[in-house]
Amino acid sequence: MNSQEEVIDFVINGHKDYLPHVSIDSVIFGYHHQQLKILLLKWIGHIGWGLPGGFIKRREPLTDAAYRILKERTRLSDLFLQQFHVFGDSPYRAQERSPAEFREKYGAVTSEDNWLFQRTLSIGYFALVDYSKVDITTDFFTNDFYWCDVNEVPFLLFDQNEVVEMALKMLRLAIYHQPIGYNLLPEKFTIPEIHSLYQTILGKELDQRNFSKKLLTLGLIKKLDERRSIGPHRSPYLYQFDKANYEEALKEGIVHTY
């Protein structure tokens, strides 16, 4: 959605293509420099930042919509995506939008009952992506983005701070049940890297020896014969996820501590 015509058409006629009253918000997690980050977008004309999101096409399965929205934004299709909650306890989310605002920002003439001003429930998805492979697309609505440390999330539009908080909580729950990492790390990684990833996600220290023992015992990762050169230090071995066991664990679930 890049030209003004397209935007105006979306505002005026979008309800013909998309379901009103329901939207998708995505919390996209990436990992970089030992930090867990989420992708935030600058919505044109708004002071604050917000989550990437979008609407569901009228004949589009929900899951497809979630993947589409993510792909439009990140160009990634290989990622971990999971629905985690529907937000709808604040019935007035739409009150932050108005015809005046739309005229000003987009030059779109709308009436009070335009579909975008109506109450909208938001279905929250969280995604795990390989930060280095992401290629963010901005558009007419969103003219800027940044990767924000999860510990330093600014005030967000609507009730999206709650969405982020819940996403993090659900990610931390998920990490006890399913293997996490495949979509956040490069193909090959070192123990210190994955160790640090888990510590970052859980927000607490994990004994490195016990941690690697655990992953190896579970069969989730396997040691390669290569090492990485990391400057004036001992060269760490590289590891890889064990595809078969990883998939199995994803399906079956695991119960463990780290």
Partner DNA sequence: TTCTATTCTGTAATATTTACGCAATTATTT
Partner DNA sequence: AAATAATTGCGTAAATATTACAGAATAGAA
Residues that bind DNA (CB under 7 A): 190-192, 207-210, 212-214, 227, 229-237, 256-258
Question: CB 158: neighbour CB atoms within 10 A?
Answer: 22
Which residue lies nearer to DNA by CB, 109 or 224? Answer: 224
236 binds, among its own copies, DNA, none (CB under 5 to 8 A by kind): DNA
Token pair of 70 as six digits: 């993510």
Q: What spatial distance separates the first Cα and last Cα of the chain, rounded to whole Å?
A: 44
CA separation, residue 251 to residues 28, 61, 126, 244 (Å): 22, 22, 18, 11
Contacting range for its own copies; rule: CB under 8 A; set: 36-44, 116-124, 201-209, 216-224: 116-124
- From the list 2, 3, 45, 91, which residue makes contact with its own copies (rule: CB under 8 A)? 91
Which residue lies nearer to DNA by CB, 95 or 235? Answer: 235
Token pair of 240 as six digits: 């890889």
Q: Which helix (H) or strand (E) holds 6?
A: helix 4-17
Which residue lies nearer to DNA by CB, 116 or 185? Answer: 185
Which residue lies nearer to DNA by CB, 157 or 238? Answer: 238
- Give CA angle at 153 (148, 155), nearest 5°: 130
203 binds its own copies (CB under 8 A): no
Which residue lies nearer to its own copies by CB, 60 or 139? Answer: 60
> Residues 124 to 183: which contact its own copies by CB under 8 A?
173, 176-177
237 binds, among its own copies, DNA, none (CB under 5 to 8 A by kind): DNA
Contacting range for its own copies; rule: CB under 8 A; set: 132-140, 199-207, 231-239, 250-258: 250-258
89 binds its own copies (CB under 8 A): yes
Which residue lies nearer to its own copies by CB, 234 or 251? Answer: 251
Per-residue string for binding with its own copies, 41-80, x by CB under 8 A?
---------------x-xxxxxxx----------------
Burial class (CB in 10 A: 0-12, 13-18, 19+), 181: buried
187-191: Cβ within 8 A, 24+ apart: 187/240, 188/224, 188/226, 188/228, 188/238, 188/239, 188/240, 189/238, 189/239, 189/240, 190/228, 190/236, 190/237, 190/238, 190/239, 191/236, 191/237, 191/239
Q: Residue numbers of the site for its own copies (CB under 8 A)?
A: 19-22, 56, 58-64, 83, 85-91, 119, 121, 123, 173, 176-177, 253, 255, 257
